[in-house]
């Protein structure tokens, strides 16, 4: 957790660190959720807190997941970029015009925030074709959630089959289908497929809003997911309360806020 930064940025190190942080934050918060969703790697944390996946199994899996992803595409070959201010349909159409290399939609984060992933040259070309109001090259070491991760998916699928997944104490919403699941086998299948398929976060958040979930608590560094939830929920008559836990100070603040709501 204390660097060096370049080592922490490597996905083989980032993934276990994020799992530990989010899981510990949930345990220290001391409140059981009614439903959960995890963005990409966060799906492992969600399954641990539901009791479906043992923490020690999840930690080993995400270490391997990070290693397999880095092995699939060497550092510098791939890239990911957030495209802001364009619709999913417009980006999907633009990507069909890229003839050389791989570039695909990796995350549908909100109405107008979509992440693309693939070969660096193809991502650069796609940004030129899309010509969005704004774009951000993401500081990642591999192009996640696209078919360049196929070898990682195959290796991880074997490892996932060796681990027990129990029925969930409370449901989660899967990344790959944006649907509510309760069974361990469904969770295992979702983790296999999410390696090469896009994270349908926008659709997942809409499910929570339709179910009238009125309190969202983000666990982990920063407020990225809280910010996305705020934008997604703007059109709703009663937007949820949004909280985040990333350190001891925010933990105490969230505890006090939740206690005041009960």
141 band by pLDDT with thresholds 50, 70 and 90: confident
Active site residue 40: yes
Question: Among the options 40, 135, 141, 204, which is catalytic?
Answer: 40
Nearest to residue 80, comparing CAs of 160, 137, 157?
A: 137
Query: Could you report the per-residue pLDDT of 4-63, keeping only the tens digit for each?
Result: 777 777 767 888 899 999 999 999 999 999 999 999 999 999 999 999 999 999 999 999
d(CA 120, CA 4): 25
d(CA 124, CA 145): 17
CB neighbours (10 Å) of residue 209?
18
**Cβ contacts of residue 32 below 8 Å, gap of 6+?**
169, 170
Residue 237, pLDDT score? 86
Question: Among the options 22, 45, 135, 145, which is catalytic?
Answer: 145
Residues 151/174/244/241 CA torsion (nearest 10 deg): 160
Residue 260, pLDDT score? 85
Q: Which two tokens stand for residue 250?
A: 């925010």
Q: Which domains does the chain have, with CATH numbers?
A: 5-72+147-197+205-261 (3.40.366.10), 78-137 (3.30.70.250)
Active site residue 145: yes
84 band by pLDDT with thresholds 50, 70 and 90: very high
231 vs 237, higher pLDDT: 231
Region for residue 108 given its phi and psi (left: phi exceeds 0; alpha: psi -120 to 50; beta: otherwise): beta
3 band by pLDDT with thresholds 50, 70 and 90: low
Phi, psi of 35 (to 5 degrees): -160, 155
d(CA 20, CA 28): 12
Q: Which long-range contacts (CB under 8 A, 24 or more apart) does 31-34 make?
A: 31/258, 32/169, 32/170, 33/170, 33/217, 34/170, 34/213
């Amino acid at each position: 957790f204390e660097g060096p930064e370049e080592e922490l940025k490597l996905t083989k190190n980032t993934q276990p660190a994020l799992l530990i942080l989010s899981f510990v934050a949930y345990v220290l918060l001391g409140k059981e959720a009614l439903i959960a969703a995890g963005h990409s790697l966060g799906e492992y944390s969600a399954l641990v807190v539901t009791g479906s996946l043992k923490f020690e199994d999840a930690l080993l899996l995400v270490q391997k997941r990070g290693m397999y992803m880095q092995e699939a595409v060497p550092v510098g070959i791939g890239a990911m970029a957030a495209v802001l201010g364009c619709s999913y349909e417009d980006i999907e159409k633009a990507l069909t015009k890229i003839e050389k290399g791989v570039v695909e939609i990796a995350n549908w984060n909100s109405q107008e925030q979509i992440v693309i992933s693939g070969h660096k040259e193809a991502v650069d070309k796609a940004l030129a074709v899309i010509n969005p109001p704004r774009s951000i090259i993401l500081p990642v070491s591999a192009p996640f959630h696209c078919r360049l991760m196929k070898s990682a998916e195959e290796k991880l699928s074997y490892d996932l089959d060796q681990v027990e997944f129990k029925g969930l104490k409370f449901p989660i919403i899967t990344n790959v289908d944006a649907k509510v699941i309760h069974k361990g086998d469904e969770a295992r299948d979702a983790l296999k497929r999410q390696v090469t398929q896009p994270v349908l976060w926008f659709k997942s958040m809409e499910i929570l809003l339709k179910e009238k979930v009125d309190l969202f608590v983000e666990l982990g560094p920063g407020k990225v997911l809280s910010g996305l939830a705020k934008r997604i929920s703007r059109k709703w008559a009663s937007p949820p309360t949004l909280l985040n836990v990333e350190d001891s100070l925010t933990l105490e603040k969230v505890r006090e806020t939740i206690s005041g709501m009960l």
